[in-house]
């Protein structure tokens, strides 16, 4: 090996040791890689396509074809492209009862193809047999689809395709969607309207918004197949599913939450409480969003308040709205001081004001932070108040105790450490390279 190569190798080794503190990069990631490899496989996502087969689907206004023909062709294209890891099913509404008895017509929904591993030929054959027939029982069909997707922790999605409003009120499909969302089962409902009708649009938007889904209006066959395909593919994408929780009437009875995403329901003007434990040196970051999934009065607001168990307010975040607002959000930040003084509310008797016991062995004491979510929504008397409005609460806890034995503090995850070591490495590399350059010039001159 030449002197030049040896010096280059020595330089690289010096830089590697300087930046990593003597630890090779492969060992720095060994733990995370092992943990990922041991992670349990997630259950395959589930999707159920709910197709309107009512009599109005005979209308020939989609690219010169009937709505039913366009839907069948779109379904065939979608079935050919369903990802292998998606469990898909098909449910119909209005496909079997041709009579005029409203009571019977509103029961007309059935599962055409069960949710599971897809046999594309069998599913296409089942769709090919459909003939536009009866009523439009959207509410019962959504309830049936929710039952079809019941069980497990997979991502679950209902895709509703219809050309008309529900004909089976008072079982309002929008209220049905709210009930499905209130159960906390994590089902998202996407809706597609085949007719540019204002009333249909309003109903389908309400259904979608109640569960965090989407609404689309499609008037061409290509649009229909493309949109349904996108929604099926979306089910296979990794998503963060909120954990269902139920806030308390007071902090002492509230659920104790860790970092994560949570879903709840809150009625008009209600206060809900949650608890978070915070160690010295940590920072709590919390945000809340409340969705107006039904008609509400013009002026409204959301308040997120952090306080101690004794009721002393620590910090608050608030937001207001006026007019049409689908979602109102606010947030707050609370850093708990990492000191030995009394800034953390220590009362001197071994407990702090928040009710957290001081550690007898000298360890850090956790403070209980009470979070109260309040809203000032109101609605006309004709609007149902149950179930409550959808609440999404995000909890994030950053930082932690920074004593001499805290390995995390010495790791590369802290920006100041990395910046300092990078600066030192730069100086060392510059000095070394300057010395090498002068040595090479001296050798060249001597020759």
Distance CA 134, CA 181 (A): 28
Distance CA 434, CA 426 (A): 12
Residue 202 lies in a domain: yes
Residue 304 and residue 248 in one domain:
yes
What total number of domains does the chain contain?
2
Residue 262 and residue 355 in one domain:
yes
Residue 231 and residue 258 in one domain:
no
Residue 18 lies in a domain: no
The answer to whether 161 and 228 have CB atoms below 8 angstroms apart is yes
Distance CA 322, CA 304 (A): 19
Distance CA 114, CA 398 (A): 45
The whole-number pLDDT of residue 185 equals: 74
Residue 216 and residue 167 in one domain:
yes
Beta bridge partners of 191: 160, 215
User: In terms of residue numbers, what domain contains 79?
Assistant: 46-235
Residue 269 and residue 130 in one domain:
no
Residue 222 and residue 355 in one domain:
no
Residues in the chain: 447
Residue 32 lies in a domain: no
Residue 207 and residue 268 in one domain:
no
Q: Give me the half-sphere count of Cα atoms (radius 13 Å) on the Cβ side of residue 387.
A: 21
Distance CA 195, CA 276 (A): 48
The whole-number pLDDT of residue 341 equals: 46
Residue 208 lies in a domain: yes
Both tokens of residue 294? 């039904």
The answer to whether 272 and 289 have CB atoms below 8 angstroms apart is no
Which residue among 372, 399, 426 closes a domain?
399
Residue 118 and residue 186 in one domain:
yes
CA neighbor of 330 nearest in space, from 309, 315, 312: 315
The whole-number pLDDT of residue 442 equals: 66
Q: Which residue has the tokens 């179930």?
A: 387
CA neighbor of 262 nearest in space, from 396, 164, 144: 396
CATH number of the domain enclosing 191: 3.40.50.410
The whole-number pLDDT of residue 14 equals: 44
Residue 230 and residue 262 in one domain:
no
Task: Tell me the backbone φ, ψ of residue 298, rounded to 5 degrees.
Answer: -65, -45
Residue 176 and residue 264 in one domain:
no
Residue 413 lies in a domain: no
SS (H, E, C) the chain: CCHHHHHHHHHHHHHHHHHHCCCCHHHHCHHHHHHHHHCCCCCCCEEEEEEECCHHHHCCCECCECHHHHHHHHHHHHHHHCCCCCEEEEEEECCCCCCCCHHHHCCCEEEEEEEECCCHHHHHHHHHCCCCCCCCCHHHHHHHHHHHCCCCCCCEEEEEEECCCCCCCCCCHHHHHHHHHHCCCCEEEEEEECCCCHHHHHHHHHHHHHCCCCEEECCCHHHHHHHHHHHHHHHCCCCCCCEECCCECCHHHCCEECCEEEEEEECCCCEEEEEEEECCCEEEEEEEEEECCCCCCCEEEEEEEEECCCCCEEEEEEEEEECCCCEEEEEEEEECCCCCCCCCCECCCCEECCCCECCCCCCCCCEEEEEEEEECCCCCCCCCCCCCEEEEEEEEEEECCCCCCCHHHHCCCCHHHHHHHHHHHHHHHHHHHHHHHHHHHHHHHHC
Write out the chain's pLDDT in tens, 447 residues.
444 444 444 444 444 444 344 443 333 333 334 433 434 557 899 999 999 999 999 999 999 999 999 999 999 999 999 998 899 999 999 999 999 999 999 999 999 999 999 999 999 999 999 999 999 999 999 999 999 998 887 889 999 999 999 998 888 999 999 999 888 778 999 999 998 888 999 999 889 888 888 888 888 888 899 989 988 988 877 666 788 999 999 999 999 999 999 999 999 999 999 999 999 988 999 999 998 888 888 888 999 999 999 999 999 999 887 766 667 888 999 998 875 444 444 433 344 444 554 444 556 788 999 999 999 999 888 888 888 999 999 999 987 544 334 443 334 444 455 556 666 666 676 667 666 666 666 665 666
Residue 127 lies in a domain: yes
Residue 114 and residue 256 in one domain:
no
Distance CA 125, CA 120 (A): 9
CA neighbor of 84 nearest in space, from 127, 48, 111, 120: 120
Both tokens of residue 164? 């008309």
CA neighbor of 332 nearest in space, from 374, 293, 364: 374
Cβ neighbours around 44 below 10 Å, total: 17
Residue 3 lies in a domain: no
Residue 414 lies in a domain: no
Residue 173 and residue 84 in one domain:
yes
């Amino acid at each position: 090996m030449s002197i030049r190569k040896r010096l280059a190798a020595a330089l690289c080794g010096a830089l590697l040791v300087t930046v990593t503190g003597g630890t090779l990069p492969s060992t720095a990631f060994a733990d995370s890689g092992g943990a990922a490899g041991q992670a349990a496989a997630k259950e395959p996502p589930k999707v159920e396509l709910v197709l309107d087969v009512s009599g109005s689907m005979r209308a020939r206004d989609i690219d010169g074809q009937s709505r039913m023909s366009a839907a069948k062709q779109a379904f065939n294209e979608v079935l050919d492209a369903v990802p292998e890891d998606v469990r898909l099913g098909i449910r119909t509404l209005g496909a079997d009862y041709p009579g005029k008895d409203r009571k019977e017509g509103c029961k007309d929904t059935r599962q055409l193809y069960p949710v599971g591993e897809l046999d594309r030929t069998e599913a296409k054959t089942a769709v090919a047999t459909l003939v536009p027939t009866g009523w439009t029982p959207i509410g019962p069909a959504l309830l049936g689809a929710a039952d079809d997707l019941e069980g497990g922790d997979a991502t679950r999605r209902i895709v509703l395709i219809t050309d008309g409003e529900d004909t089976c009120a008072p079982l309002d499909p929008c209220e049905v969607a709210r009930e499905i969302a209130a159960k906390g089962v994590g089902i998202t409902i996407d809706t597609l309207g085949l007719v540019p009708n204002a009333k249909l649009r309003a109903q389908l938007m309400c259904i979608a918004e109640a569960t965090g889904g989407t609404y689309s209006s499609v008037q061409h066959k290509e649009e229909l197949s493309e949109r349904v395909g996108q929604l099926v593919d979306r089910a296979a994408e990794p998503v963060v599913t909120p954990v269902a929780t139920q806030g308390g009437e007071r902090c002492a009875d509230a659920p104790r939450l860790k970092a994560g995403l949570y879903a709840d329901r809150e009625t008009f003007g209600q206060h809900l409480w949650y608890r978070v434990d915070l160690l010295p040196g940590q920072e709590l970051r919390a945000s809340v969003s409340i969705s107006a999934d039904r008609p509400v009065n013009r002026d409204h607001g959301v308040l997120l308040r952090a306080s101690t168990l004794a009721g002393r307010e620590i910090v608050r975040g608030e937001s207001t709205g006026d007019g049409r607002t689908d979602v109102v959000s606010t947030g707050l930040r609370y850093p708990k001081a990492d000191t030995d003084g009394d800034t953390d509310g220590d009362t001197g008797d071994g407990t702090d004001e928040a009710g957290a016991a001081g550690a007898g062995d000298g360890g850090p004491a956790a403070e209980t932070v009470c979070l109260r979510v309040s809203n000032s929504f109101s609605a006309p008397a004709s609007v149902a108040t149950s179930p409550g409005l959808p609440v999404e609460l995000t909890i994030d806890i950053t930082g932690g105790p920074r004593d001499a034995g805290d390995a995390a503090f010495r790791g590369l995850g802290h920006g100041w450490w990395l910046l300092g070591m990078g600066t030192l490495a730069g100086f060392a590399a510059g000095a070394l390279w300057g010395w090498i350059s002068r040595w090479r010039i001296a050798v060249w001159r001597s020759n």
